[in-house]
């Protein structure tokens, strides 16, 4: 899998190296504590898939330029801010096998750091009068917050239908990937139709990505950073579970709803539910939907002329659904 990521990066290898420095510069502050935290963020960064989307989409229609770098930094600032805030909300003390910011500096500082990163994302666009990028990131921040709140509201009642699930993952996850792809082409003066087309490409890719993430909850593996059954314990209704409960008979549905509601920390009952989802075709159904989103994204990509960037985006789409973590 690491080889695939390196292959994807080939057309943008130089840009990704340069981006690290530009991203760090975009976070810098005169406050020593903030500087210490932002240095920690840079040293514990993930695979940086989102900046890769920005640069590849930029190269799909032109060249990577200063506006592309600013757009990628904005996206990574938003992404990092939401992770910092999520760790506070979830009371999580680990992130990518490192201590989270709230574990090291407590909640108050973590929340303020997240706020600071969001403000820096907005300032990057206004300082350069790039109001097209400002519109994209403002919409993205709004939708990500709405998606989280919708999920929390629905989790209390456990009444998530398939349509509501799609709306939650579109807002929570896919909207940020959509912003990457839209910003990538906007940095090369894309018209409204092209920007909309790439936003749709990013949305479909993000939907496939999140369904893959939800599938990990049912797959025993030591290499993913997510314990099996964790979504069930947190009472998150994901696609495999929604499908299995919808197609179950009345007694099974009642029993397993009870597991989610009252026995979500009972290891035996959670294992029974995981087995039930597997046997009732929940995983196969979710895999089918995920592949359908992937194919629709590929169809959009196929409208573009052949290029290294296009090849890498095809590889990225394969990686999204084949990754092991």
CATH code of 184's domain: 1.10.600.10
CA pair distance 227, 231, nearest whole angstrom: 9
CA 124 – CA 83 distance, rounded (Å) = 20
Per-residue pLDDT of the chain (325 residues; tens, 9 = 90+): 558 888 999 999 999 989 988 888 887 777 777 777 776 776 666 678 899 999 999 999 999 999 999 999 999 999 888 887 676 666 665 555 566 676 656 677 778 888 888 898 999 999 999 999 999 999 999 999 999 888 888 777 777 889 999 999 999 999 999 999 999 999 998 899 999 999 999 999 999 999 998 998 887 554 444 456 677 777 788 999 999 999 999 999 899 888 888 888 888 988 899 999 999 999 999 999 999 999 999 999 999 999 999 999 999 999 988 887 6
Which helix (H) or strand (E) segment is 99 a member of? strand 98-99
Domain residue limits at 237: 2-322
For residue 263, what are the contacts with CB-CB under 8 A and spacing of at least 6?
Answer: 269, 270
Structure tokens at 301: 């990509």
Q: In this structure, what token pair is assigned to residue 11? A: 């057309």
Total domains present in the chain: 1
Residues β-bridged to residue 95: 98
pTM: 0.88
Rounded to whole angstroms, the Cα distance separating 151 from 141 reads 16
């Amino acid at each position: 899998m690491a080889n695939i990521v390196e292959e994807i990066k080939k057309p943008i290898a130089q840009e990704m190296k340069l981006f690290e420095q530009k991203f760090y510069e975009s976070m810098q502050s005169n406050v020593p504590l903030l500087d210490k935290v932002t240095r920690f963020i840079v040293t514990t960064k993930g695979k940086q898939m989102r900046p890769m989307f920005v640069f590849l989409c930029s190269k799909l229609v032109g060249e990577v330029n200063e506006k592309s770098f600013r757009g990628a930094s904005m996206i990574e600032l938003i992404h990092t801010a939401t992770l910092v805030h999520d760790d506070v909300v979830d009371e999580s003390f680990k992130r990518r096998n490192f201590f989270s910011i709230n574990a090291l500096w407590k909640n108050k500082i973590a929340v303020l750091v997240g706020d600071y990163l969001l403000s820096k994302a907005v300032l990057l666009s206004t300082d350069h009068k790039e109001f097209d990028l400002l519109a994209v990131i403002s919409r993205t921040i709004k939708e990500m917050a709405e998606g989280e709140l919708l999920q929390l509201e629905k989790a209390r009642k456990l009444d998530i239908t398939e349509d509501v699930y799609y709306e939650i993952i579109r807002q929570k996850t896919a909207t940020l990937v959509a912003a990457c792809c839209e910003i990538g082409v906007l940095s090369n003066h894309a018209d409204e139709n092209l920007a909309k087309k790439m936003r749709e490409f990013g949305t479909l890719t993000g939907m496939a990505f999140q369904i893959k993430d939800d599938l990990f909850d049912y797959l025993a593996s030591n290499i993913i950073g997510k314990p099996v059954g964790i979504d069930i314990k947190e009472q998150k209704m994901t696609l495999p579970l929604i499908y299995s409960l919808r197609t179950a008979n009345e007694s099974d549905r009642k029993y397993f709803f009870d597991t989610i509601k009252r026995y979500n920390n009972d290891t035996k009952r959670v294992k029974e539910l995981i087995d039930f989802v597997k046997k009732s075709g929940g995983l196969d159904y979710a895999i089918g939907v995920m592949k359908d989103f992937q194919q629709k994204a590929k169809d959009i990509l196929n409208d573009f002329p052949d290029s290294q960037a296009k090849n890498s985006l095809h590889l990225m789409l394969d990686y999204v659904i084949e990754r092991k973590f």
